[in-house]
Amino acid sequence: MILRKYMSLIGVGSAKIDLVLPKNSFKLGELLHGYFFLEGGIIEQKLKRVECDLVMLDNNGKKEKIIDSTTVLKSDSIKAEERNKLAFTYRIPETLPYSNENGVRYLFKTKLTFDQGVESYDEDYISIC
């Protein structure tokens, strides 16, 4: 049990997060409804928060600009191998350039933070038309 705890603290067998979206192409101003899929690791872990940023990338992917951020404070625990869904609703801003306009791309960067242990990350590319 102690070995499992220390392994999860360094990221081995830690809980994971995945942002699940209904599609990957959205219109300006569109309201999207998805969810965060949380999957427990090998031990119970205390969750701290979920952060999700909408990020705009330039044509070569080297320059990032955070467009908007959403934070969900979550003072729950996730048991070993437990599976949960956490609702995610977001309105695409109406003032963004379209995807592929001047080489622009977008993605949601999601981070799950624990009281102890390595954070879990997820990236989901989307297009805006």
| CATH annotation of 2-128 | 2.60.40.640
Residue 9: predicted pLDDT: 47
Radius of gyration of the chain (CA): 16
What is the reported pLDDT for 62?
A: 78
E strand intervals along 1-129: 16-20, 25-26, 31-39, 45-57, 64-73, 77-78, 83-91, 105-114, 120-128
Query: What's the pLDDT band for 26 if we cut at 50, 70, 90?
Result: very high
HSE of 31 in the Cβ direction (CA atoms, 13 Å)? 1
**What is the predicted pLDDT for the residue at 13?**
62
29 secondary structure, DSSP code:
T
Name the residue ranges covered by the structural domains of the chain: 2-128
- pTM, rounded to two decimals: 0.86
pLDDT digits (tens, 9 = 90+) for 92-129: 999 999 998 778 999 999 999 988 777 999 999 999 99
Beta carbons of 18 and 78 less than 8 angstroms apart: no
Q: pLDDT tens digits for 40-79?
A: 988 889 999 999 999 999 877 679 999 999 999 878 899 9
